[in-house]
Amino acid sequence: VAGNFSYDGTNGPSHWGKEHKMCLGKYQSPIDIEEKDVTTMTFPELQFSGIEGSHKAYMTNNGHTVMIQSFDSNVPSISGGSLNGTYVFQQLHFHWGQNDNLGSEDLINNHSFSMELHVVFWKKEYDSYEEAIKRNDGLTVLGYLYQAMDEPNPIFESIVQQMPDIIGVGSNVTISDNNVLKKLVAPDIASAQNYFTYSGSLTTPPCLEIVQWIDFVKPQHISHEQLAAFRSIQSTDGTNLTHNFRPVQPLDGRTVYRNIAGVES
Ligand code: SG5
Ligand code: ZN
């Protein structure tokens, strides 16, 4: 687990820059995406592979989030869109807030959503995650927004049901639903071409400025009750991890693009 950071007090986001200078950089994430300021573009189709079929996956409480990884040989990857090359799945994890009115890291028109899923991929050309993070185009992260509602989202059924098994920091459990990865990584191919994209950073220390962000426009839903389960896990400082989102960072002249899908051929 990368360092002794947290989301409150003397290890909170405003202090990360003391130990991790890059957290004070100019191209940090998350950001507020103002729709009136985006530049529209038609990128080639964003393509997912290795999604079909089942994936044995496990989830871990790493003290900062609920993280899901796979030890399956069938590894998801993405290419196309604004990406140059193929990017291989590393892990996915979630960000949430103390209440349902906040929790997402990226904001749209200054609006917070209740939760955000990050699916982290590394550039295949660099052979490993460890090598990829040394390169400025090493990672891409897919961001999916969730809004809390009354209706449960079946995608989260196994995760929520098994959450009691990962209350303690460092604990992990095999996820009973072998389709969970497929459902989280590529929930709705029809919406997959509708995204914002910009260059930024990891949203946790060491805040490396090596991430091409792809934030899907259309929010999904999660129930209030399902979301509450995420707040029940413990954090590195021994208290409940009630919130784990970094505040938005200055855009500082960067361009945010919005993909406008071309005509299907
Ligand atoms: C890196 O940055 C880290 C994550 C961290 C994110 O991707 O990945 C690795 O070190 C994988 C080997 O840290 C871990 O996975 C701990 C083992 O995410 C978190 O776990 C904290 C939320 C931050 O990624 S992000 O920019 O997409 N939020
Ligand atoms: Zn994240």
ipTM of the complex as predicted = 0.89
Hey, whose CA ends up nearest to atom 12 of ligand 1? 129
Of ligand 1's listed atoms, the one at least distance from the Cα of 139 is: 7
d(CA 58, CA 180): 10
Whole-number Å distance, alpha carbon 94 to ligand 2 midpoint, is 6
The finding on whether 133 has its CB within 6 A of some atom of ligand 1 is no
Q: What is the pLDDT of residue 265?
A: 46
The finding on whether 62 has its CB within 6 A of some atom of ligand 1 is yes
Are the C-beta atoms of residues 221 and 153 closer than 8 Å to each other?
Answer: yes
Whole-number Å distance, alpha carbon 263 to ligand 1 midpoint, is 36
Look-up of token digits 């029940």:
232
Of ligand 1's listed atoms, the one at least distance from the Cα of 105 is: 28
User: pLDDT tens, 75-101?
Assistant: 999 999 999 999 999 999 999 999 999
The finding on whether 93 has its CB within 6 A of some atom of ligand 1 is yes
Of ligand 1's listed atoms, the one at least distance from the Cα of 29 is: 26
Q: What does 194-258 look like in DSSP terms, one character per residue?
A: -EEEEEE--SSTT--S-EEEEEESS-EEEEHHHHHHHTTSB-TTSSB-----PPP---TTPPPEE
Neighbours of ion ligand 2 (CB under 5 A): 118
CA nearest neighbour of 160 among 216, 232, 89: 232
Whole-number Å distance, alpha carbon 224 to ligand 1 midpoint, is 25
The finding on whether 129 has its CB within 6 A of some atom of ligand 1 is yes
> Is 1's pLDDT higher than 50?
no
Lowest mean pLDDT among 31-35, 49-53, 120-124, 139-143: 49-53
d(CA 58, CA 66): 10
In the set 20, 55, 64, 118, the catalytic residue is: 64
Q: Which ligand lies nearest to the CA atom of residue 204 in the structure?
A: 1
Q: Answer yes or no: 64 catalytic.
A: yes
Whole-number Å distance, alpha carbon 118 to ligand 2 midpoint, is 5
User: pLDDT tens, 135-169?
Assistant: 999 999 999 999 999 999 999 999 999 999 999 99
d(CA 134, CA 120): 15
